[in-house]
Amino acid sequence: MAQDAVDIAVVGGGVMGLATAWQLVRRGLRPVVLERFARGHAQGASHGATRNFNNAYAEEHYLDLLERSRAGWDALGAVDGAPLLRLHGLVTHGDVDVASVQTGLARRGIPADLLTAAEAHRRWPGMRFASDVLWSADAGVIRAADALRELERRIVAGGGTVHWETPVERIGQDPASALLALADGTTLRADTVIVTAGAWTSTLLGGIGLPRLRVTEETPAHFQPVTDAAWPSFNHYVAPSDYPATVYGMPTPGEGVKVGFHQVGDEVDPDARPHRTTHADALRSYVREWMPGLDADSALHLSCTYTSTDDSDFVLDRRGRFVIGAGFSGHGFKFAPGVGAVLADLALDPAARAAAPFRLG
């Protein structure tokens, strides 16, 4: 690397790091992004064609972040002639107070309707419902892989740089700057370092007072439809006595319908991930019971990591020269433009603060 001093370095080039660098570029900065793996890698949490754009939150701090994120996705606009957000809608049902969620969305002007189970089944005959259903038309999926490419394009066009296959081995500081020790022997100085390193965050910032960050390998699957019926995105809060965890999913064109249990994988070392499928039988059983429009025996599993806090709230805060975005707990991708804006605020304004649930203690 030719330069050995920068104003702002971003460590981690997944969706959070790229979204943060893009938000900095929008403000006239020229950040340097350092990513340990190659472009398009599948070692972390940002790969794959789609992610749920799930707006069914009741907490005010997430609804605030959702609004900021939606503005960011809209600003990114269309890529290859289509928007990065595909708003085919979301259904939420099961053991959750859907009326309360609807009320919170309505206060924000976000459309959401309550349907009976029978009404929902008539609209989506490939799914079963046993209780009232919250339907939000202003939700759907994000074209995840395309979003990563577009964020990088915007960063570079704005004067920033993204360095792939550039591992950061250690982060420290002296009185004058933060210090990044790279694997090639280079020491990079930066006025401010934003760390969005996912499963490697604790390794890089272990002494900074982070909460416990638990890294798990999650293995949802794509299932093939047996009819041409339309599919929404979905959340199903199942009874804990029946299945391991809440079920989520979305249609992924060309791959089927993605279905997975939320936050149930084995704890792993991110540098030695076993790529071991878990809960496969339970997932097939769930699909067989609740999704008659899918072939339950057609599962094609995929692997990604979650890096989770104990309460599943994100960490968005600053300590000295270090700004931290971590612990996205398997529900962060949709929030990336908003997270990037918050982290950019923290990097540029010493008085900035994230919402209280996102702060370090």
CATH numeric code, 1-85+141-211+310-361: 3.50.50.60
Reduce the secondary structure of 235-249 to three states and give it as a string: EEECCCCCCCCCEEE
Tokens of 284: 């097939």
Q: What are the structural domain ranges in the chain?
A: 1-85+141-211+310-361, 90-138+214-308
Nearest to residue 193, comparing CAs of 342, 350, 354, 11?
11
First to last CA, the chain: 36
Residues of the chain with pLDDT under 50: 1-2
CATH numeric code, 90-138+214-308: 3.30.9.10
Instruction: Give the Cα separation of 61 and 353 in Å (integer).
Output: 12
Residue 361 confidence (pLDDT):
81
Residue 87 confidence (pLDDT):
96
Residue 4 confidence (pLDDT):
82
Q: Do 23 and 343 contact (CB within 8 A), yes or no?
A: yes
SS3 breakdown of the chain: % helix, strand, coil, rounded to 5? 30, 30, 45
Residue 176 confidence (pLDDT):
92
Kindly report whether the global pTM for this prediction surpasses the value 0.75. yes
Residue 2 confidence (pLDDT):
46
